[in-house]
Amino acid sequence: MFSRMFGKPKQETNALTTLDKLNETLEMLEKKEKVLLKKAAGEVEKAKEFTRAKNKRAAIQCLKRKRLYEQQIEQLGNFQLRIHDQMIMLEGAKATTETVDALRTGASAMKAMQKATNIDDVDKTMDEINEQTENMKQIQEALATPIGSAADFDEDELEAELEELESAELEEQLLQPATSAPAAPVQVPGGRLPARAAPQKQRTAEEDELAALQAEMAL
């Protein structure tokens, strides 16, 4: 574990150091290439001057040196390509190493979490939750159960009594007399209203006794 902890920074430091070294070498080769290009261009100018002076041998020597410089320039170009290739490979390897380390860290974290929450603990927790839920359901049912006098009531008897009340109410509504409609007025020709019938004279108590006495004498 400690080797992993202290090994990773060391490897990263080595990779960064190598990249810095390659960059320095690349800069040095580029500077040399510029110097050689300047020298080759100088030999060309000298060859032109010797040609104007009709000094053919000296002009040829200048061109030979120019070609030597060009060969060195080409060699330096190949060196630069190799260094670029090495830098690209090193950067890719560094990215790959960092990716693998990140994946390894993730796998270790996942493994630690799995150890902290194994399947047995999960099953036990779910059983406890189900048990608590069932207990709460029983408590709610117990609280909803009627107690005292309300517990002695028979639901069937109450339903039967309610049906009797409804039947009695319906029967009472059927027995009530229908409301009579008002009589239509009789039309009399000439616009005259029909004469009202004279109200009958009510008999007094004395007249009733007299009528009863007359009935007995007739017998």
For residue range 120-173, list pLDDT tens digits in order.
Answer: 777 888 889 999 999 898 888 888 776 655 556 667 777 787 788 888 888 787
| Residue for token pair 């839920």 | 133
How large is the average pLDDT for residues 190-210? 55
Task: Rounding to the nearest 10 degrees, give the CA dihedral for residues 158, 159, 164, 166.
Answer: 120
- What is the per-residue pLDDT across 11-48, written as a single tens digit (0 to 9) for each? 566 778 888 899 999 999 999 999 999 999 999 999 99
Amino acid 93: pLDDT: 87
How far is it, in rounded angstroms, from Cα 120 to Cα 126? 10
Burial class (CB in 10 A: 0-12, 13-18, 19+), 68: middle
Give the per-residue pLDDT at 5: 42
Helical packing angle, 56-116 and 2-52, nearest 10°: 170
60-77 pLDDT tens trace: 999 999 999 999 999 999
Q: Rounded CA gap, 80 and 27, in Å?
A: 9
Residue (of 120, 21, 31) closest to 76 by Cα position: 31
Tokens read off for 207: 């007249």
CA distance 60 to 40: 13
SS (H, E, C) 89-154: HHHHHHHHHHHHHHHHHHHHHHHHHHHHCCHHHHHHHHHHHHHHHHHHHHHHHHHHCCCHHHHHCC
